[in-house]
Amino acid sequence: MGFLERFAAPIHALVRIIVGFLFLCHGAAKLFGALGGAPPGLTAPLLQISGAIELLGGALVMLGLFGALAAFVCSGQMAVAYFLVHQPQALFPLENHGELAILYCWTFLLIAAQGSGIWSIDAARGRGGPAAGQGEYVEVEETVEVELRG
């Protein structure tokens, strides 16, 4: 047992909440010019679509409402963003400034795989996923009897 294993569910929930909130902030920046405004170089339709996914998806992930589905869509958006915006600039993420897109992509994919977990609307609805202790885990106990003859 790892030394933080007993805190796995709260850590998962906090990561989901924080990542969702940060993603929501990116959407607010793109759609409303808040928090420093939209990044330069994006066309209006791309800015609106990505901003809407970030605002709505970030809020859903943060609240844990349809969290796995929202996280999957957000993960896909970040994969597209990386290959559309960052990767053409240079091969490595440190050179093309795509580390944040990659981290968001994989973090959202993990949330999508694990579900919303505890402290979520999904958990209150009984749909929090494995991270909320509602997975498809099955414990099997097997007994083997051996007879020794001498």
The answer to whether residues 87 and 96 touch, using CB atoms and an 8 Å cutoff, is yes
For residue 143, is it within any domain?
Answer: no
Percent of the chain residues past pLDDT 90, beyond the cut = 71
For residue 67, is it within any domain?
Answer: yes
Q: What is the pLDDT of residues 67-112, one digit of tens each?
A: 999 999 999 999 999 999 999 999 999 999 999 999 999 999 999 9
For residue 147, is it within any domain?
Answer: no
For residue 63, is it within any domain?
Answer: yes
For residue 43, is it within any domain?
Answer: yes
By residue range, what is the domain housing residue 56?
5-132
What's the pLDDT score for residue 127? Answer: 80
For residue 150, is it within any domain?
Answer: no
Domain count, the chain: 1
pTM here?
0.83
pLDDT for residue 113 is more than 70: yes
pLDDT for residue 40 is more than 90: no
Q: What is the pLDDT of residues 46-63, one digit of tens each?
A: 899 999 999 999 999 999
Cα–Cα distances in angstroms (integers) from residue 28 to residues 76, 98, 127, in the given order: 19, 20, 28
For residue 45, is it within any domain?
Answer: yes
For residue 41, is it within any domain?
Answer: yes
